[in-house]
Chain A
């Protein structure tokens, strides 16, 4: 394989063999569960009973950092670990414990996202379970959850992902600040503020900041000792020197500002690891890496202490080490986010706060590094706009062409407008980055998950519209449309159907907001993260943790799944029943209830399948899908977050279609739908056309999506497209693809990501996983190793229409 896309090394300062070794190691890694963190936090909590919870979390964090095992990977220039070995997942019993104990014997037997677990670890975890039972975040959420929400979950409409049992994550620290100041200076700031304040909450906060940062400094110094020890025993002279350098670096790292590019990369990585260790979330992100690292890079190059080749090596090591982390989720949640994702987004390109395009040398190097990394993490994204250099776009296209699904492309013009519409000042909006998959926010200023609070299954809501609010599966009815308690309802006009949709959508969206609030109130305590908070505006000024209102911008959203299935269904109903009167309501329902089986049902199935479908540039249905989006957007201004008026400068709800793999399991809950979808099959992914219904190629998809209110979906509008590998082969096709990307800017597409691999390859990979450990696919806003996915998700990816570029 050609190691570089475009890069031509001028000197021998990058060890490609070593990178290949690390890459192989990551590719073949095995997931396991580590009990160290769980034991240490239990020990610490037992010794701090009765103290303030935030303080207890801070102390526990420091305790963990002091005593957990640390290691430096054999080949790596970058270090920092959150569990005892490569790809092990730590356990966070303070968030939830029951499922862990319930699944102890099943982790290694899952059909996807398997985890090895030793008998000792099982024993360790069983041993601490009783201490945490009834005292976790999950328990508190559970206690406060009303019956209606439980029932709506049973219906399959609402789903609470991580927020009900895990940390929130979704944090991008202010990297500039960390690099410029170091931890010590922030400790001094906190100390000073502590001396000045009389507010109890603030006192606790500043104390906690000091404790966590001191803990982090201890952790770093432990690496100094370890590196020196390893250097002593090291035979290889080059490696010995590297270890000495690490040892020396860690004596003072973060005691003072960052000194050079290498230190900068290491610090970004360490902060990432430490945030993950502190709070059990995911989507801790690197933000605009090429922007905040470019000064260090330039000055090192000018001073002659760094070569381009070395820089590429360091970045690649840092990228690769992101695959050493892991997070374990309950099996039920794994279905919603498969492939061991951490969604550690790292973004390049895009405009600077002053509006000029910020692409720089590091943007190019990062693309090359991602090519060398060829793993699913970091989740690599790129911003672009009309001023993005064509050769940078072309390099990105070359990476996309390798089939790794990255970078995923964000359109500056739309994303910036979206954030500004929320009231975020222009220079901050221009500085946005991706957080997790497709959601966007302002680095160092956002405090909550832009997306992925409660998941709302719109496919199910539609099914309830057909059934008068009564779920045919569970028999549960929380609201009736015609006042009767059965599922019979006859609509006289399309407007009546539409009213039914709006009514149920409001009912369940209201419920979802209540659901968010219940989780958020508990997270304010259980997910208090002083370490992460002190790097986010305005926590230090306000003396508040993020979760309790410290962040500057508090923009959240739920995740709405299946808008195109809903729109396509409504279009089929409108056209066939009301406009053309080709079939009756009863005929349609009976065909649906028979899951399209039988002679009449299959004829009706054909008619609905032939009805207009979103993704073909057909105004009839495209504007109905737009109506569906608008119906939800109209609800948002009425929704308030828990922190409104308690710190943040902006608090509001927005919309997102970033839905990770949930379109697959959500589909399992939904019977046949009037768009011709069969029972249990997946819903559509993000705002992408339903699998296999876009027949007119990529430009038609773009034209359809362009009709949606994309900039209003300010927490991320996910569009996933698949191209066959042949369609990007050669320079001419590649140039046309670059043109295609440029046209997406003009068309106002929010985001676009690409799977480039032919279905034959995917089918083969499903049959022979052992030959395809290196195959990375775009799932939904993130990438995963194809072979780690569950069969249903694999099928959904195979079914996604393959765009051919020509006949």
Chain B
């Protein structure tokens, strides 16, 4: 792989303990080809640099308003209103703000540099049998890059997990899977229509990819998020579980994830509309029921909060 191989990431979350075994570093890659209504990382949906605006930090000093091109920034009741179409110098506006009310999301990084950063925590991985997890967004859209990174990390004995929604062609997917040790795989719906409504894409590839993966002798953890009112149809949930069961013994665990709204504030900060306007309450008895269903079929299931 050439030195020009660059990746686009937002952050490296150190000491991540929920994305696979042991103490891990999770790399958040930019860009995703799904569009889940409940997505809690809207800043990662596209692979470009973005600026979040934190209105609570703004003191209306006026500095950004003065220099913004085309009068694209104006005072709102709280914070500023940014016309992102009109504004051509948002980076400058962010830089001039004395309050750190703008935060830049996303940067380019070389595989060498990323590996270097990840390796800084190597002692923590080694004592805990941890490692690194590629997450996002969906890192598989930067396939060449993550394969390069994975190979460099493997050369140093680091365990690699891939957290993915799995929506690319099998040929590309296969090349990636061959370079990781563990797969955390999202299954958001079984029926194609439900999947399409919730994520804007069909799930044919997703379901067939995981079938292939299950034959590759990699540890798999299936992640099943349940969002009330979106993908909580019990028949479909049952079919998901039956499907997961059919994948066989590579599936080590099924994590049932509850919905959380930690990401809801991000939409406003990015100036995009939140597809979920209503308040969603988790139905814990439903989650328990799903868990029971999975366990009855002989799966190892856990609810993750």
A contact set with B: CB distance below 8 Å: 599, 602-603, 605-606, 609-610, 617, 696-700, 702-703, 727, 732-733, 735-736, 739-740, 742-743, 746-747, 803, 805-807
Q: Are A609 and B23 in contact (CB under 8 A)?
A: no
Q: B234 contacts the other chain (Cβ, under 8 Å)?
A: no
Minimum CB–CB distance from A366 to chain B (whole Å) comes to 25
Q: Are A807 and B13 in contact (CB under 8 A)?
A: yes
| Known A746-B127, A805-B15, A806-B17: A739·B100 in contact at CB below 8 Å | no
A735 contacts which chain B residues (CB < 8 A)? 128
Q: Are A736 and B17 in contact (CB under 8 A)?
A: yes
Chain A to chain B contacts (Cβ below 8 Å), 14 pairs: A599-B61, A602-B99, A605-B98, A606-B100, A699-B14, A736-B22, A739-B127, A740-B23, A740-B124, A743-B123, A746-B126, A805-B16, A806-B15, A807-B13
Nearest 6 pairs of A and B residues by beta carbon: A739-B128, A602-B98, A603-B98, A697-B15, A742-B127, A746-B123
Q: B120 contacts the other chain (Cβ, under 8 Å)?
A: yes
B61 contacts which chain A residues (CB < 8 A)? 599, 602
Q: Are A606 and B128 in contact (CB under 8 A)?
A: no
Q: Which residue of B lies closest to A700 (CB)?
A: B14
Q: B63 contacts the other chain (Cβ, under 8 Å)?
A: yes
Q: Are B13 and A699 in contact (CB under 8 A)?
A: no
Q: Are A610 and B15 in contact (CB under 8 A)?
A: no
B15 contacts which chain A residues (CB < 8 A)? 697-699, 740, 803, 805-806
Q: Are A610 and B100 in contact (CB under 8 A)?
A: yes
B17 contacts which chain A residues (CB < 8 A)? 727, 732-733, 736, 805-806
B100 contacts which chain A residues (CB < 8 A)? 606, 609-610
Q: Which residue of A lies closest to B62 (CB)?
A: A599
Q: B97 contacts the other chain (Cβ, under 8 Å)?
A: yes
**Which of B19, B97, B120 sits near A606, CB closer than 8 Å?**
B97
Q: Which residue of B lies closest to A616 (CB)?
A: B14
Q: B56 contacts the other chain (Cβ, under 8 Å)?
A: no
Q: Are A606 and B63 in contact (CB under 8 A)?
A: no
**Which of A602, A742, A806 sits near B18, CB closer than 8 Å?**
A806
Minimum CB–CB distance from A713 to chain B (whole Å) comes to 21
| Known A736-B128, A743-B127: A703·B98 in contact at CB below 8 Å | no
A739 contacts which chain B residues (CB < 8 A)? 22-23, 124, 127-128, 130
Additional A-B contacts beyond A746-B123, A806-B13, A806-B15 (8; CB < 8 A): A599-B63, A602-B99, A606-B99, A699-B121, A735-B128, A736-B128, A743-B124, A805-B16
B200 contacts which chain A residues (CB < 8 A)? none
Taken residue by residue from 85 to 125, chain B's Cβ proximity to chain A (1 for < 8 Å, 0 otherwise) reads as: 00000000000111110000000000000000000110110
B63 contacts which chain A residues (CB < 8 A)? 599, 603
Once the chains are docked, how many angstroms separate the CA of A806 from the CA of B126? 18
Minimum CB–CB distance from A595 to chain B (whole Å) comes to 14
Q: Are B120 and A603 in contact (CB under 8 A)?
A: no
Once the chains are docked, how many angstroms separate the CA of A702 from the CA of B15? 11
| Known A700-B14, A806-B18, A807-B13: A606·B98 in contact at CB below 8 Å | yes
Q: Which residue of B lies closest to A619 (CB)?
A: B120
Minimum CB–CB distance from A174 to chain B (whole Å) comes to 36
Q: Which residue of B lies closest to A607 (CB)?
A: B98
Max chain A Cβ within 10 angstroms of own Cβ: one of B13, B26, B61, B127: B127
A747 contacts which chain B residues (CB < 8 A)? 123
Q: Are B124 and A699 in contact (CB under 8 A)?
A: yes
Q: Are A806 and B16 in contact (CB under 8 A)?
A: yes
Minimum CB–CB distance from A49 to chain B (whole Å) comes to 64
Minimum CB–CB distance from A104 to chain B (whole Å) comes to 49
B124 contacts which chain A residues (CB < 8 A)? 699, 702, 739-740, 743
Minimum CB–CB distance from A419 to chain B (whole Å) comes to 24
Once the chains are docked, how many angstroms separate the CA of A697 from the CA of B98? 25
